[in-house]
A and B are shown apart, each in its own frame.
Chain A
Amino acid sequence: MNPRNKVMSIDDVVGRLESGMTIGIGGWGPRRKPMALVRAILRSDLTDLTIVSWGGADVGLLVEAGKVRKLVYAFVSLDSVPLEPLFVRARQDGTIPEIDEWDEGMFFTGLKAASERLPFLPVRAGLGSDVMVNNPDLKTVQSPYDDGETFVAVPALRLDVALVHMNRADAHGNATYLGPDPYFDDLFCMAADQAFVSCEQVVETVELTADTPVQRVLLNRMMVSGVVETPNGAHFTTCTPDYERDEAFQRHYAAAAADPEQWAAFKERFLSGDEEAYQAAVADFAKEATR
């Protein structure tokens, strides 16, 4: 008997989400982001979300679309474009109701605590910095041993839902990353009540380790609620080795985002239809660029 089949559609995933949920988005900055699922949230009527992310364009787009009530992040960047223009504008206009800016190590620790079902874990990161001032709910804890040292008690970043994008997955939820870095996608899944994995390709289980070491099977099916095949679904972020970041498109995005008129045209061209329409518009954009 095979374990159950969890393959679903993008719309099925969005159907499992509710307004007001806390959603963790995997990947890192502009790398291996579940962008097809993010785009589907943009099209939905979901609202009041708490977004937990090593932020890239996922954060910029969701914030600009008014989906975010609270943002938990340590940075938001597109790497080759250091500052995410939509996020920057939202912060400067004060349109994100609630902001939790943490240190990156704290962020990692909060996910670990959630994945281990602990209320908090102690770290040094944050002590003495304005992270403690700007997040007045953060508390410290004293070592019960002779050293008596003080630490930040990083609260668990418990998630209702995790969304991650992997290179390959089987129908049951086992999934591999084939690029250089796993990022924190397993932690996101373990920190969440439900985890949905989009991937470049759904393959047979045996194929997951056919040409890559077993250590790359980052996600086990017990951590995963659903699997969606979304080819080019991380676009325009990296999905090494399937594809690198679409720098030309990212430049276009960043330039458009900086100008309200151009931004309206960008949205009309790329974000007004479904994922298939998006991919067709991107292919058209690439053709235009090489002409």
Chain B
Amino acid sequence: MDKIVAEKLSLYYGPKLALSDISIRIAERQITALIGPSGCGKSTFLRCLNRMNDTIPGTRVQGQVLLAGQDIYTPGTDVVELRRRVGMVFQRPNPFPQSIYDNVAFGPRVLGLARHVDLHSIVEQSLRGASLWDEVKDDLRQDALALSLGQQQRLCIARVIAGKPEVILMDEPASALDPIATLKIEDLMHELVKDYTIVIVTHNMQQAARVSDYTAFFMLGKNQVGTLIEYAATRTIFTVPHDKRTEDYITGRYG
């Protein structure tokens, strides 16, 4: 079942076309990896999925992005609600300079989710869901910035989960982390995907090969415009890619 469907999605920064005609169907409760060389538009595409590009002046989008069948670019769309449903984790962990507890409770408080349910249980469930609970449960009042980078990233994931999203977008979530913290994030992704649809941008092809069910390869096409070259099951992309350009990239012969 498709959770997100992009139909002929193009994106302009002012007059410049940055992404051209991207059509892709992202499967529900699967991990989809977006790979490709720097500047190929994969992060830009990711940010189209919860309209993060709206915050950049002069950005214009053509085509459609359907989330569970609804076009998220329809005028009148509640963008705050959209970003709750489609949460995002960034390259550098970005916890608020507050306690662990307040970081996770932030979303539920702002969104009013905690009015009728126990905020404590949301915090605990979210921290458990992010595989962080056992490491922090004894001192939830601790400053989030005192955690290791890997823990901070899992805290950011807990913060996203607390908003009860449907989709989690991850923009190079492990690129600032050491190998052990990276593997913890990857294991966590395998847990999260039981409940959420995950789309991850990664520069690390082995990571894409390890964690994802589907892989989309982007590169700059004609006129230096971000283009989707090939999209298939991850095992296909990494063993028998169909497009020569994909093969050259994943075997390290691109460029």
Interaction A to B: no
